Amino acid sequence: MTTMTAAQSPASGAQHPGQGWRVARRVGFWFIIVLILFYTLFPFYWAFNTSLKNENEVFATAYLFSQNPSLRNYELVFQNERFVRGLFNSTLVAGGSTILALGVGSFAAYALGRLKFRGRLLMLYAVLAMTMFPQISILSGLFSIVRDLGLFGSLSSLVVTYPLITLPFTVWTLTTFFKGLPSELEQAALVDGATGFQTFYLILLPLTAPALVTTGLLSFISAWNEYLFALTFTTINPSAQTVPVAIALFSGQVQRQDPIAEVMAASVIVTIPLILLVLYFQRRIVEGLTAGAVKG
Amino acid sequence: MDYSSTARARTSISTQVYLIAGLMLLLGVGALWLFVTGITDALMHRAAGADFGAVLLRYLHVNGIILPLIELGLGLYLIRLAARFLRRDLRAAMWVRQLLLWGVVASTVFVVQALGSALATQMAATEAYMIPVIGVILALTLTYAYLWIGSNIEKFEGQETLAESSARFAWNLLVPTLLVLVFVALRPLEKTFIASLTDQRFAAGADAEVNFVGFDNYAKLLGVRWDLVQCTTDDTGACAVDESGATVFPRARDVLDETYRDLRYREISTWLTLGGTKLIFSARDTNFIGSIGNTLMFTVVSVTIELILGIFIAMVINSKFPGRGLMRAAMLVPWAIPTVVSAKLWTVILRDNSSGILNAGINLIQRTLGLPEESIAWLARPETQIIAMIAIDVWKTTPFMALILLAGLQTIPADIYEAADVDGANRITQFLRLTIPLLRPTIAVALVFRTLDAVRVFDVFQVVLAQKQYSMATYNYYTLTNSQQLGYASAVGVVIFVIILLFTVAYVRILGVSAE
């Protein structure tokens, strides 16, 4: 019995597979794979290539390979105070809001996934509605609240508002995960005389560690990449800007019109840690992303 | 000296019960007081001669709806709880204890925040540290009360069932989420709705007068009309024709009725020209109407392409081949990077002369074919700008779509296809009759999330096009931050909200997505 699904398998193809036909299919298959990879990865190569160019080369006719590559742009980027500060700010904001989302989210998910109470379904729908909530449409309301609280232009304005983005799917994913754990766990804990919070904190929470890693990662990435709130709430204060804002508003070390090569160097720097995370946690991320989509 | 230790213990217990009940009562009355002062304040303005609409608006503007409801509910609940607590009801005691715990948490947060701002502003020491000190005293008192109930729980009567205690526990765990829901989602939403009915501006300062303008903002935002315009006639009464042979039409604002001019309608496009008559489409806010068109076009085209490409790629990588894991990881990368970065990458690729690699490639092909070399200014022309936006979005999200669909494909058991093979169904039949129907739930969810994402597109448009062309979201952003028109920007937000709501309802009805 083959594990390949017959419809897509390249080799187990036609009714009367001749040798030549089979080779042609193989070649065609790999051609498509290479094409897909080229499409997904070429822009990254191009960014890297551009980041090695000097000012003149950037504006000259493009060639696939850089003529005389240099790392000078990377040097310049790391001297750019706004960008370095952005890296620091982004780490702080994404880390802070992820911890917040995981803490608050695991509480709520335990309640929604394991406990029975009136209003549970209503809360579940409220969380689902929040995952589809359009952040842009409350921008002005949130803007005036942030201003009234005196948080406008500060990092805390982002830590406080990012749960709107990270919390709903954290709760949703963790709820699904909690639901899947066997029900004997609480009964055993109850027999041993554990309180409700001890059961949650000492017995069930450690079991959700894999799900916590996945959702934490997803929430970190979405907070790291967030642009709308970061741009709106920190425009007046460059020292509170995150990486996406710093890259979008990038101005070169030397006053000139468009520091493309430096922006590309900055982009490469931001992309590398994400590539490493994705390579390392690939399976987990795909599981986390598709948990809702496939089972839901 | 002469009363026994048990008697002393009993009096001290009831003292503490009275104190804690008093605290609860105080908090409850405080919440109700806030609720009542909100209303009396509005009534005083009514007495001062303001008309009802203005009073209502003022009330909503200051208090909203959610906060007064919470004040009222919490006030009544706390007073009732205090009464039950006085009657030594065990269930009430447990709830009081939980509330005290949250009180401790809240006052601690308050202390930290006050300390932080005291350090930041460097006020005179005594003033700055008064507030934190009060906070600390409050926190300690509440902690004491919390601990006291915990160690004297046997003094209370009655019993809490298992279901009751688990419900109490559940609501406690939900408190932080509820706070986020109310203060970061619902309250801003409410503020947006209320502000959209006013002419509020930021530059005017906090105390500036805010006027209730009804649906004026919406009328301006969504005001569109279609008009027939007759051609300019020459001496003979026939239509005038210019050098290139095109019929000459007068400017719409010169020939149409006064409201067209007074309400500042401007022509967006000509829909139809028939002989000496043309049908023109005009709007009061051409930028916003244009942004709706751009966004809908962007959404429909990009989501369709992503779905088709996504299914194709998912089917290709659903077979086993060496390096499949690596391939999946590579496909995740575009999804993982910030949209700002992908937008910047593509502006470099799409540069409008041969220094952009795409144009360099096009030029190369043109050279080989012996055609004249001609670069396309992708980001300079209105038509290609939207195409570029779609291309960037398709590049960034197709791999993600493919991975979601792949996960769906993998839940389809292989033996179904084997059975179909035996029955002699060909590949296309198998795809249409098996794959697509079985993949339907996954496609539904992916479509919903992608569409809702696309409708609120912001990053790409803002980074690449800035104010050359708007999406609904970037238009909202620019009206808010550039012109500081809070009222008008809020109306934009509400319109976006309604459009997204319509999409969601349509999807839920058509595809039947359910919560469980």
- Range of the structural domain that residue A44 is part of: 18-58
The DSSP code for B247 is B
Task: Please report whether residue A125 resides in a domain.
Answer: yes
Interface test with B, best of A123, A136, A154 (most B CBs within 10 A): A136
Question: Which of B165, B336, B494 is nearest residue A137 as measured by Cβ atoms?
Answer: B494
Sign of the dihedral through C-alpha A166, B314, B334, A275: positive
The answer to whether residues A166 and A53 belong to one domain is no
Please state the ipTM of this predicted complex.
Answer: 0.84
* Predicted pLDDT of residue B1: 44
| Integer CA distances (angstroms), B221 to B202, B283, B303, B478, in order | 19, 8, 27, 14
A155 and A114 fall within a common domain = yes
Cα separation, B408 vs A42, in Å, equals 27
Does B218 map to a domain?
no
Report the CATH number at residue A88: 1.10.3720.10
Q: Which domain holds residue B484?
A: 287-511
Same-domain status, B473 and B461: yes
Q: Does B303 lie in the same domain as B452? A: yes
Confidence of residue A257 (pLDDT cuts 50, 70, 90): low
Q: How many domains does chain A have?
A: 2
Structural domain count, chain B = 3
B516 located within any domain: no
Q: Are residues A127 and A227 in the same domain?
A: yes
> Average model confidence (pLDDT) for chain B?
84
A42 inside domain: yes
Clarify whether residues A54 and A89 are in a common domain.
no
* Residues B119 and B238 reside in one and the same domain: no
The pTM of the full predicted model, rounded to 2 decimals, is 0.85
Q: Is residue A72 part of a domain?
A: no
| Residue B382's CATH number | 1.10.3720.10
The answer on pLDDT for B49 being more than 60 is: yes
| Residue in the block written with tokens 């030397």 | A254
Same domain, A90 and A54: no
* Residue B236 located in a structural domain: yes
Give the tens place of pLDDT for each residue, B149-158. 888 888 888 8
Indicate if B190 and B230 belong to the same structural domain.
Answer: no
A182 and A47 in one domain?
no
Of chain B, the percentage scoring pLDDT greater than 90 comes to: 24
Name which of A98-102, B31-35, B309-313, B380-384 the model is least confident about: B380-384
When CB atoms are compared, the residue of B173, B452, B494 closest to A107 is: B173
DSSP B399-430: HHHHHHHHHHHHTS-HHHHHHHHHTT--HHHH
Question: Alpha carbon of B76 to those of B27, B28, B71, B103: distances in Å?
Answer: 10, 6, 9, 18
Chain B neighbors of A160, CB-CB under 8 A? 184
Contact B332/A282, CB-based, under 8 Å? Answer: yes
For residue B511, give the nearest of A296, A137, A121 by alpha carbon: A296
How far A142 CA sits from the closest chain B CA (Å)? 5
The two tokens of residue A203 are 């017995």
Which pLDDT tens digit goes with each residue over A58-76?
777 777 777 777 788 888 8
Classify residue A13: in a domain, yes or no.
Answer: no
For residue A247, which residues of chain B lie inside 8 Å, CB to CB?
338, 340-341, 344
Residue B208 placed within a domain:
no
* B408 in A contact zone (CB under 8 Å): yes
The reported pLDDT for the residue numbered A137 is 84
Give A183 or B457, the one with higher predicted confidence: B457
Residue A294 lies in a domain: no
In a domain? residue B497: yes
Would you call B271 helix, strand, or coil by DSSP? strand
Do A96 and A219 fall within a single domain? Answer: yes
Please indicate, yes or no, whether residues B95 and B171 belong to a single structural domain of this protein. yes
Same domain, B262 and B119: no
